[in-house]
Amino acid sequence: MTPQKEDYLKVIIELGGDKDLINNKLIGQALSVTAASVTEMSTKLLKDGYIIHVPYQGVQLSEKGLKVANQMIRKHRLWETFLANHLGFTWDEVHDLAEKLEHVSSNVLIDRLDEFLGFPTSDPHGGLIPDREGRTMDKDSLPLQELAEGDGFFILEVDDDAEFLKYLSEKNIRLDQYYRVDKMEAFEGPVYFRDEKGNEYQVSYKAAAKLLVEKQ
């Protein structure tokens, strides 16, 4: 399987194509490619049995496609964990490296890496790591902007987007840290919160929507 095909299956699962039909337009936007190349790739993947196609509605992963997509996510997230925890790369740096490494890693290499890391269940930005069978743990999360003033929370997961991760790093916002909401400004204004030491933080409303938290 080519890296392009692997990325394509990964994008479909990230858009929710494990459960729902995803239209070509969304896939094209996510991969920054034209509608024509999406159609061309869909035809190939359909022929190989990786996806199911419903005319005028979109595509969905077949069982075979889901297996590959989960394996790609597993590889990506295990590499991100290794790069961040053992080689000292920052949140925003690990993604691009993992994008390359995921395509050149055999399943045996990845299983060894998983063992070396102690079978982690989530990556440095909280994304769940599928196990060898493609299973992930369930967790209850909601976007930060849905909390109320006074609510305590942990950040479980943040959007895997280098620019956004850099934004958070610069503000020194981390996972595994307890915070409490101070103030949510009306009309989609900023969200203010603080940690247990009293340090204050502020994120825009848009950023708060991309922070998945667990309410305490």
Please give the residue ranges that form the binding site for Zn ion (CB under 5 A): 95, 160
User: Which secondary-structure segment (H or E) carries 143?
Assistant: strand 142-143
In the bound state with Zn ion, the residue whose beta carbon lies nearer, of 38 and 83, is: 83
CB of residue 150 to Zn ion, shortest distance in Å = 33
Measure the CA–CA gap between 102 and 176, rounded to whole angstroms: 26
Give the strand pairing for 58-61 and 51-54. antiparallel
115 Cβ contact partners less than 8 Å away, ≥ 6 residues apart: none
CA distance 76 to 123: 9
Min CB(90)–Zn ion separation in Å: 13
What are residue 12's phi and psi, to 5 degrees?
-60, -40
Q: Which of 10, 12, 131 is nearest to 68 (CA)?
A: 10
Which CB atom, from 83 or from 191, has the smaller least distance to Zn ion?
83
Nearer to Zn ion, 35 or 87 (CB): 87
**What is the nearest approach in angstroms of Zn ion to the Cβ of residue 160?**
4
Amino acid at 104: V
Nearer to Zn ion, 74 or 95 (CB): 95
Sheet containing strand 211-215, edge to edge, reads 142-143, 211-215, 152-158, 179-184, 191-195, 200-203
- Comparing CB distances to Zn ion, the nearer of 93 and 160 is 160
- For the bound state, the minimum distance from the C-beta of residue 4 to Zn ion, rounded and expressed in Å, comes to 18
Q: How far is the CB of 95 from Zn ion (least distance, A)?
A: 4
**Which residue's C-beta sits nearest to Zn ion?**
95
